Structure 1
Amino acid sequence: MHLIIQRRKGVGGELIARLTSEYNFASYHPNLLDEWDYEKNLKPPSHYTPSSGQSVWWICKVCQHNWQAKIDNRIKPRGCPNCAGKKPHSDGHNSLATLKPKLVLDWYDNRSPEEFQIGSHYRARWKCHKCEHVWRSPIAKRAQLDRACLSCTGQQAHSSGRDSVAVTHPELVKEWNDTKDPMKFLAGSHTRISWKCSTCSHEWLQSIGVRTRPTGCPYCSGPGGTIPRVVHSDGHNSMRNTNDENARLMTREFHPTLNGKFTPDNLTPGTSKKLWWKCSQDCDYIAGSKCENVWRNAGSHRWNRGQACPVHYGGGLHSDGRNSLQKLLPELIQEWDFEKNENLTPDSVTISSGKYAYWICNSCGNKWQAIIASRSKGHGCSACKKKAQRELFEIVKQLFPNSECQFDYNHPDMRFSETNARMELDIWIPEFSIAFEYQGFQHYESVPFWGGDEAFEKRRMRDLEKQEACSKNGICLLQVDNSWDRGANSIKHLLCEHGFEI
């Protein structure tokens, strides 16, 4: 190749290429010469450089289509536009005008229908020959999918606006708050438009079709026409801006990450949506810390009914399990019957739960069912308690062989003031008005296993009430504590202390 390159001074370093006899289109691209139109092109292919921008004529060797294209476009390479489906054949046999002559009746574009194939995506301008509606649509949609006039088929408002929402529903135009032209939309359109209430100035988005039904401003038309269903566009009735104690608490406890797109700013406090909350109150179980229980509840339940954290006001299980039976009374877990309780686990219930659970006594192996709350309050194995009572009962019968002795006697005239339940006497000798009570150590001190301080105080008050009732009814109540040596002599001594000679 003989390419001579010279640098011309004063032209900013521009490179000028001088042609030699070998540097031309014919020499570099002989494969394209059989599509060169020698009749229409006045100069031969050897006259042009390989990258020339000159537009010349070509004849497709496959379909004989005749077209113009720049030389540098052909070497990229780009072939026949007719074969590629981009332009109709030069003889017009596959043009829109030839294949779809009826569509030409609606043609209203500056370009000719003879320039396009029926599969073209060009958005041509059309004018219906029946109703004179003017619109734009891709040629392929009309030619291949047989799409008719959009106005005649009810898909678009007439270009004159005669059937638009502005004409059919002029009252809606008063609240139209959008840049879109109401003259271009039908009353049933699904297009979402911005509206502004003429009564309360609330702004909202809604489809035209929905507005043409009897639905007005969503703020003004709340349930019963009194309670707004949505947040006003100025935000004055949002959860955050509602001047109400419950609403302020809800805003503080609105979970910052679990509610997705919802915030205290785009919801009313009375929303029916179930939302996530995070308790802001002090923890009842860990001193100096916040509760931070996470739970789900409808906004309306919190606002209208005042429902707050279920841990504080419903005895619910904390989301981190801090108030579970397993955490607060781990000693009870030793008697938990995991096999019979199946899916009920100590970490899934609270100490105040009203559910029944199965238990296995560590001392005697007795298996029984009891409410979890009752066990938390100190009620233990009934078999163990009855065993000690039975031993005491047998000794009392030996000491009073000629008298009637009753076991677990419910006195008809003595009742607890709180529950009105009959008071039970472990052993009752009606002839002498003597009663025996076997008292475990939980009756004398606070024990976590038996419910702690609260349960101990309740037991103490019940024991005191029973003592006063016995005294009032002339009954000598003798208390035998759990340190009893299981012998008859200690019982004789107890009777002698109270004036009974055996």
Structure 2
Amino acid sequence: MLGSFWHPGPPLVYVQTSHPVLSHQREPGGKHVPSRLATVGACGGFLARLLLRRSRSEMICRSARGEKKGLDKVSTRQQSMLDRLQDHAAALGGKCMAIGYKNCMTKVPWHCQHGHTWDATPVSVLNAKTWCPECARNRRRIPLQRLQDHAKTRGGRCLSTSKYNRSKGKVTWQCKLGHNWKATPNMVLHRRTWCPACSRKGRTWKKRSLKDLQGHAASLGGRCLATTYEGMLAPVLWQCRRGHTWQARPHNVLNMKGWCPACARNAPLDLRRLQEHAKSRGGECLARKYVNSYSKVTWKCEHGHTWQARPNHVLNSGVWCPHCRKIGLARLQAHATSLGGRCLAKSYKSYKMKLLWECQEGHTWNATAQSVLHQKTWCPQCAASNWRTEAEVRRILETIFHPAMFPSCYPSFLEGLQLDGYCPDLFLAFEYQGEQHYDPENYFHFGDPSNFRAQRERDARKVELCRDAGVRLLIIPCFVNDKRTFVLTMLLRWFAWGRLATLELPSR
């Protein structure tokens, strides 16, 4: 409904609405009076627009101040993360070229010490420990000059024409006698192989005869039933002391130490060995006769439980009393306490059920009672920290001596012992020694003092064997914080400072 009343100035316009407040109101006399909010005149409209404009300006200013305050807060956090990225890159000898930080999954540009640039997410560089992909590829590519120098020391030549060669890609070589062959740089540089033709020429072959086969079989208590000899790869008939007969190549019997397959399936166990094993576990073997390793016999544990099991499972798979597998919660808690931790489980049902554990460092994880008690596992986070630190030392050395690599290996001169990293070309190895090398109560020893003594003996033996082989062994203790400075300082015992300065890669 539209209405009007006299007002000095331009006429007023009334807006009809159904809202109870904004609609026309009726005076006691019966006249309709327009609502104050529903009536907008020329003067009133100008004043309203002015007030609304001022109110809107104040709201925009307040909003802008709030947004600026929020941006300042975010920019402080972003700057902190940007500083962290730059510090991490500097520790690796490179730079973080980012001018801003958004989040850990947004790629930023990086620059390594060899001039390579690439984009990667902060989470992959900080947490996954990735770095320059081009340098990683270059570690797998070996310069042609290095191959030629190595071949020259052997009196031969490398006939490859590629400037860079993959360590596992075959290249052509030539020895001093003119023989040509193909082999991977990895085999020639690291495994010290050379000309196969010259290698065969230097061997002395012993010609075998039927008499050799018969003599070898007799030494094993059997017989060679062949009447003719046609070579080491021609199968012949054999017989063992128990009368079993089978056919096998002389090469397999004489050189590979093979013998009767039937007797091999009946493992050379006896009742005495079963009884000794049961006694070592605090129990008894109640069998009166031994048939073979797959025929069940009766056993008795230290708690008086009896059961039947195959000798093969008991001796080789570590199986023991199934009744004692029902381990009580008190035993688990006592075992965790002996390792400096706790078993946080409230109940225990079976040895295959995962329980909650806590180590002395406060790490928590889930593991079965069988894995902790019988397989001697413990905190995975503490175990992983040793591996990460070892990888950090390896990365420092590979950066200093690029493109040399320091893989973990079991060199022949260590008599079965392992090196955390070894570069044969530099005669340089490293060992990162965790807390278990210094603390006899470390959980790695599981409360057994003999384990710590054995660890110390292995460490001393490793140092002695490396010294005898002319290998320089760099030992990094776990309590060193600045590992890069420590490594550089210790390397100065053997290398000049100029040798330790990282060389730029040649331009491709």
**TM-score > 0.5 by shorter chain:** no
- Bigger fraction of residues in helix: 2
- Which gives a bigger RCO, structure 1 or 2 (Cα 8 Å, sep 6+)? 2
| Length-normalised TM-score, structure 2 | 0.29
| Length-normalised TM-score, structure 1 | 0.30
Bigger Rg over Cα: 1
